[in-house]
Amino acid sequence: MAPHNALRNAYISHVRHTLRSMKQQIHFVTGKGGVGKSVVAAALALKFSRSGKKVLLVELGDQSFYEDFFTLSKVGFSPIQLRPNLALALWSGESCLREYARYLIKIESLTRLFFDNAVMRAFISVAPGLSELAILGKITSGLRNHGPPLPYDCIVIDTFATGHFKALLEAPKGMSQAVQFGPMGEQSRQIDRCIRDKQASHYHIVTLPEELPIKEAAELQADIKAEFNIDAELILNKILTVPVSGQVVKEIALDKKDNLNEFAIYLQYQIQRQIEMKETAQKITTDFKCIPLIFETDPWKLIEEMAGKI
């Protein structure tokens, strides 16, 4: 090997090492049902991947949204590659727990016996907090160096809607209080530490410029601040950007004979409401972003355009 090549290799491995020792970034995306969590999470992930990071986009539960959205063949627990630097996986409580059990017990037949047992499976799905803990355990496994490797710089999670998301965040603390001893208590405390770590965990609350979603977002923002002392970012999605001045809209809204009269009345109402909602958002946090309503029905074009605007 030529000397300069050796030098170069040493340099590359040095860079790799520093990159790896940099903390893995975790981005939680939440918000009320239907506000655009999945689309925004995908756009965030795409944006990070374009800046050279290795990104894993994760959806939670046992049914994949992206599979239908992007017309993919099969989305499951093991990541599939969507784009260079961008992979996608679907994690459920059961699949996370299964992997963890395999890692801990190491006897495949025993793990299988456990998960093939109908009573156990049903139990896992209802046992309070167990699924939530397993999911957060998987998400933070890279940070905690616990479990199979998770070789990504950044994990973007399309999480649950507000109510269930709160339950997700509360699970580690709740569990560590209910079960103080044993492996579960210990794991819970570690996981809890990770989701409170400002350097690693980031929270994005998506909302529409509407009363209910904003109210839910405000409550969640306050909860995260009070409990974790972390400022969650607020994202106002589907903002209608009107390309004409408010004055023009107003005139046409008053002109009953104009064929765009009703359209203008609609726009006027939207503009007014958006102003009010932005004021409300401003009161919640100064850290808020707006994403326009994008008139695009092609899924990838929509995500790409959105990634450019976040």
Partner 1 sequence: MAMELFKNTKILVCVGSGGVGKTTMAAALAVIEAKAGKRVLVLTIDPAKRLAQTLGIEGTHDVTKVPGQNFKGTLYASVIDHKRTFDDFVLRASQHSEAVQKIFNNSLYQQLSTNLSGSQEFTSLEKLYSCYDSGDYDLIILDTPPTKHAIDFLNAPQKLSFLFSEGVAKWFRDPEGKKLGLISHLIQSGTKQVLKVLETLTGSQFIRELGDFFINIEKWQEKLLQRTVDVQRMLIAPTTKFVLVTSFDQAKLKEAEYFIREISKGGYHLDTVILNRIFPSWLDQGSEQNKNKSSDNMDLNNFYSKMKAYYSQRDVYYRQFQAKIEKEARVLRIPDLVNDISDLSGLEELSLLIEERQSKT
Ligand X SMILES: Nc1ncnc2c1ncn2[C@@H]1O[C@H](COP(=O)(O)OP(=O)(O)OP(=O)(O)O)[C@@H](O)[C@H]1O
Residues 60 and 159 sit within 8 Å (Cβ to Cβ): yes
Query: Edge to edge, what strands does the sheet with 80-83 contain?
Result: 80-83, 86-91, 55-60, 154-158, 25-31, 201-207, 233-239, 288-292
Q: Which of 266, 293, 300, 310 binds ligand X (CB under 6 A)?
A: 293
- Residues of span 181-210 touching partner 1 by CB under 8 A: 181-185
Which residue number, 42 or 175, has a Cβ lying nearer to ligand X? 42
Q: Three-state SS for 155?
A: strand
- Taking residues 120 to 149 in sequence order and writing x for each that binds partner 1 by CB under 8 A, - otherwise, the string is x-xx-xxxxxxxx-----------------
Q: Which of 37, 98, 202, 204 binds ligand X (CB under 6 A)?
A: 37
Which residue number, 15 or 122, has a Cβ lying nearer to partner 1? 122
The answer for residues whose C-beta is within 8 angstroms of residue 143's C-beta and 6 or more apart is 23, 24, 26, 194, 197, 200
- Taking residues 207 to 246 in sequence order and writing x for each that binds partner 1 by CB under 8 A, - otherwise, the string is ----xxx-x--------------------------xxx--
Strands 86-91 and 80-83, sheet pairing? antiparallel
- Residues of span 199-228 touching ligand X by CB under 6 A: 210-212
Q: Which of 54, 65, 77, 83 binds partner 1 (CB under 8 A)?
A: 65
Chain-centre distance for alpha carbon 55: 12
Residues 217 and 207 sit within 8 Å (Cβ to Cβ): yes
The span of 141-149, 189-197, 223-231, 288-296 binding ligand X (CB under 6 A) equals 288-296
Which residue number, 286 or 297, has a Cβ lying nearer to partner 1? 297
The answer for residues whose C-beta is within 8 angstroms of residue 182's C-beta and 6 or more apart is none
The residues of the shown chain that bind ligand X, judged by CB under 6 A, are: 31-39, 161, 210-212, 237-238, 291, 293-294, 302, 306
